[in-house]
Every structure is written in structure tokens, then in C-alpha cells.
Amino acid sequence: MLENFTYLYHGFGIASDPFNILLMAIGILLGVIIGVLPGLGGANGVAILLPLTFSMSPTSAIILLTCIYWGALFGGAITSVLFNIPGEPWSVATTFDGHPMARSGRAGEALTAAFTSSFIGAFFAVVMITLIAPLVAQFALQFGPAEKFAVYFLAFASFVGMSKEPPAKTIVSMMIGFALAAVGLDMVTGQLRLTFGVTELLNGFDFLIAVIGLFGIGEILLTMEEGLEFRGKAAKIDPKVVWKTWKTLPKYWATSLRSIVIGCWMGITPAGATPASFMAYGIAKRVSKNGKNFGNGEIEGVVAPETAAHAAGTAAMLPMLALGVPGSPTAAVLLGGLLIWGLQPGPMLFVEQAEFVWGLIASMYLGNIVGLILVLTTVPLFASILRIPFSIIAPVILVICAIGAYTVNNNVFDVLMMMVFGVLGYLLKKTNYPLAPLVLAIVLGDSAEEAFRQSLLGSAGSISVFWSNPLVSSIMGLGLLAGLWPLIGMLFNKLRASPQPA
């Protein structure tokens, strides 16, 4: 335990290097822009910028990219409060009370509350990562292939159980991801599969292309359909407003604490920031004294979802670092980055790359502080970006996506694939298929398959290997429970309903 603090201290030494601080500032600013613009978000923003980091040291690269992620989390709040347009799905719940506050001239207050709560949520999530991640990693070192597959199973099963979309749609979306991941050269047998003779598919589908298409192009098509017109409220934040708001925030400690717990939990299990923010908002509304006033500009209604969303977004890094199973699409893209930089995510990372891991964790502390200061001081600038009409932004974002897709592998075919994924993303989103499991499955498909095949090899094809010891059985059991949760809930409701005759 104590040695971890020594590591963390060293980590702060790495993260507070002037170059890295500069990268943090750049990352946060880029992230906020990405979070503010429609069509660009955390996941595809990081995906587009990933190729630029190939020449950096892994630590600097991950600091830049994670800060883009923090910035995007902050940026979502700006559009929600000022324009009633959630820049990111997880800031939808912030619009409920944030925008009414802005309409009644309390935009500064709402934004300060949002940013500060985001910061607090993220901060506690990082503290949790600092304390728990090394333990989880140490524990995970004992994992064999069967346990590894069980963890993947648990991660994907909780998608099925937790998402608000119908389970069959979640499963289809996830399995499409696994199928796409399987295309190309089979690592074990060296055979080509599912390519049907198309040479372009030899290397399979790159998940970065999928992310840029699904989230970027798909989002632009959706925005076009809704015919957005940005009519926002002006934002001015002066120190007096900030100070005044900060003085009121401690009153809501109970709401914050609850949201932090919800956020951390939902972030670790890959349910993600979006359901976390809705859940935190819903519970705060039910519990709070001012619950009735929620929706009319209650500051507590901004605090709850923002704290939870940021806590979840940050906590999503824990399973990525300790287990190699990302908790959100953006964490999945970062995991892909680790692989490209030649680092193997998972428990061994804490042993072999201690400097990298602790530099990253320290940068999460610093990055969020830098982020809070930067967003509080630069809000008007970002609000003005949003006033650029969509007919200028849309083609520029299209070009950015195309360039991003090309630079992943220097391949023009990828640009075409991006477009296909874009149309697919639009269709799936409109028909309520969740996209996050699809992306996660493309990223993890190969590792999950490898773990699956290795465990079956060990047991000569018998499925019983997944129940062969207490550890693997309990993870699989949890996974089954999570996956069958909708079914269990349905049965439970029926049982409860039946004793009372109508």
C-alpha cells in the first residue's frame, strides 16, 4: 500500500513536467472544443487525434489523450446549459435544470456548479482508482484464460443487464462487434476468415474507423435530421459568481456523495456515464427536499448528473488499466492506443510499466485541476464556437473525420469504411441499438476470443472449464446474473403482481 504512494509521488514528478502540463492544457482545450461541437465527441475525438501521438512517449501521449477526454466531459456541460443541446449523451440530464437556470439569467451559476461538480466527481473517482486499481491488478495477476474470459463475459453481460435498450438489441449490437473483430487473419490458425476474397478486409476492421464513423458521421446525420438551430444564452462567469456558487455547493454534499457512488459503480461496470447521470438525477429528484422544483432550474439538478457523469467517465479508466477491459467507448479507444504504443493493458501493466501507470494516475489529478481552471476562465470563447452555424461546421467536421480515418492506417479504403459505419450508426441509433457495446466488442473481440479458445484448449473443449474453480465460477455467476437481470426483474414483478387479484 505504502509503496503505491511512493509510486504516486514519482508519478506526480512525471506529470508535473512542464511539457506534460502544456500537453494537459492543450488536451483540455481540444477536448472542450470536441465536446462542444456536434459530431465530435470524446470517443471519436480521441480516435482522430490518436495517430498524432505515435511519435510521442507513451506517458505524454496518454496524458494528452486522457485530458482530451476530461475536456470533452467538461465541454458537454457548456452546450447543455447554454444551448439546451447536449454535446454528449451523458450531459442530457444536465439540460433538465441547467438550461432553465440559463434562461432565467443564472447561466454563470449553472456552469460553475456543473464544472465544480464534474471536478469533484472526477477527483473522488481518481482517489478510488489510486486506492483500488493496484489491488485489483494484483488480484488479476492470478487470472488464467478462463478467468480472463469470465471477466470479459461479466463486462458484456452487464451491458445487457444495465442498458435501457431492449436486451436482444444490445446483444445483436455487441455480436456484430465481435463478428467484425473476427474478420481477417485468424491469429491462432493463420487462416483468413470472413473476408470472402476481398483483399481490403485482410487486416479486419479497425475499431478507430468504426468509432469515427459511428459516432462522428452518424451524429452529423442525426443533427441534420433534427435541423438544429443554435440559439444560445450568453455566458459570463466572473469570480464573484464563482465564489457565490461555491459557497452554496457544500449544502448539497449528500447529493454529491450519492452521485459519486453511483458514478463510480456505473463507470467500473461498463454501463458508462450516460445511465449514471440519469440515475443520479432521478434519485436526487426523488430524495431532495426541492424535488418538485427539479426541471425549473434547481442547482441540485445540475450537481447530481454532472458529478455522476464525471465520476463514471473517470472510473471507467479503472477496469481498463487494471484488467484491460475498458468501461466506456472512450476508454476503449485509449486502450487501443496503449496497444499501438506497444503496451499490454491489464494487470501486468502495474508491474512492468509502473512509471507509465502512476504518471497517468497523477496526471488525472493534475489534469482535472488544470481543466477546472481552464473551463471556468474560457467559457465565453467556447460559447462563441457554438454560434458558428451548422452549415459551416458540418462539412468541416466531415473533412476532419475523413482525415482522421485516413491517418489511422494511411489507407483510403478506411475513408470509405468510415462512411459505411456512419450510415450504420445513424440507422442503429434511430432504432435504439446501443453503439457502445459494438465498439467495445470490436476492441476486445480478439482478446476475448483468444481467452475463450485457450480455456477450451485446456479443457479439451468442455465448457465446464468456466466453472472449474471458485474464482472463475463466481465471476461467471455474476456475469449470468447481470446478463439475465432484465428477465429476473420481469419474473420478480410478475410474482409481486400475482398475489393481488385485480
Partner 1 sequence: MEQAHHGAGGGGPKQRSVEIGTALLTLLFGLIVLYGSYIVGFGWGADGPQAGFFPFYVGLIICVCSLINFVHGMREDPQPLFAEWSQLGQVLRVLIPACIYVALVPFLGIYFPSVALILGFMMWIGKYKLPLSLAVAVGVPVFFYMTLERWFLIPLPKGPIEAMLGL
Binding site for partner 1 (CB under 8 A): 51-52, 55, 166, 168-169, 171-172, 175-176, 178-179, 182, 186, 188-189, 191-194, 196, 217, 220-221, 224-227, 389, 391-392, 394-396, 398-399, 402-403, 406-407, 410, 412-413, 415-416, 418-419, 422-423, 426-428, 430-433, 449, 452-453, 456-457, 461
Task: Report d(CA 251, CA 260) in Å as an integer.
Answer: 15
Task: Tell the smallest beta-carbon distance from residue 166 to partner 1 (Å).
Answer: 7
Task: Report d(CA 38, CA 61) in Å as an integer.
Answer: 25
Residue (279 or 375) nearer to partner 1, CB: 279
Using alpha carbons only, give the angle 68, 73, 77 rounded to the nearest 5 degrees.
135
Task: Report d(CA 30, CA 360) in Å as an integer.
Answer: 19
Task: Tell the smallest beta-carbon distance from residue 227 to partner 1 (Å).
Answer: 6
Residue (105 or 489) nearer to partner 1, CB: 489
Residue (356 or 452) nearer to partner 1, CB: 452
Task: Tell the smallest beta-carbon distance from residue 214 to partner 1 (Å).
Answer: 15
Using alpha carbons only, give the angle 254, 257, 262 rounded to the nearest 5 degrees.
125
Q: Are 83 and 110 in contact (CB under 8 A)?
A: no
C-alpha cell at 291: 424535488
Task: Tell the smallest beta-carbon distance from residue 172 to partner 1 (Å).
Answer: 5
Residues 6+ apart with CB under 8 A from 500: none
Task: Tell the smallest beta-carbon distance from residue 175 to partner 1 (Å).
Answer: 5
Residue (16 or 195) nearer to partner 1, CB: 195
Residue (194 or 254) nearer to partner 1, CB: 194
Task: Report d(CA 191, CA 453) in Å as an integer.
Answer: 15
Residue (160 or 271) nearer to partner 1, CB: 160
Task: Assign 412 to helix, strand or coil.
Answer: helix
Residue (154 or 448) nearer to partner 1, CB: 448
Task: Report d(CA 85, CA 390) in Å as an integer.
Answer: 13
Task: Tell the smallest beta-carbon distance from residue 330 to partner 1 (Å).
Answer: 22
CA atoms within 13 A on the CB side of 177: 33
Element (H, E) at 192: strand 192-193
Task: Tell the smallest beta-carbon distance from residue 101 to partner 1 (Å).
Answer: 22
User: What DSSP designation does 324 have?
Assistant: S
Q: What one-character-per-residue DSSP string does 102-124 give?
A: HHTT-HHHHHHHHHHHHHHHHHH
Q: What one-character-per-residue DSSP string does 303-329 give?
A: HHHHHHHHHHHHHTHHHHHHHS--SSH
Residue (63 or 201) nearer to partner 1, CB: 201
Task: Assign 365 to helix, strand or coil.
Answer: helix
Task: Tell the smallest beta-carbon distance from residue 396 to partner 1 (Å).
Answer: 6
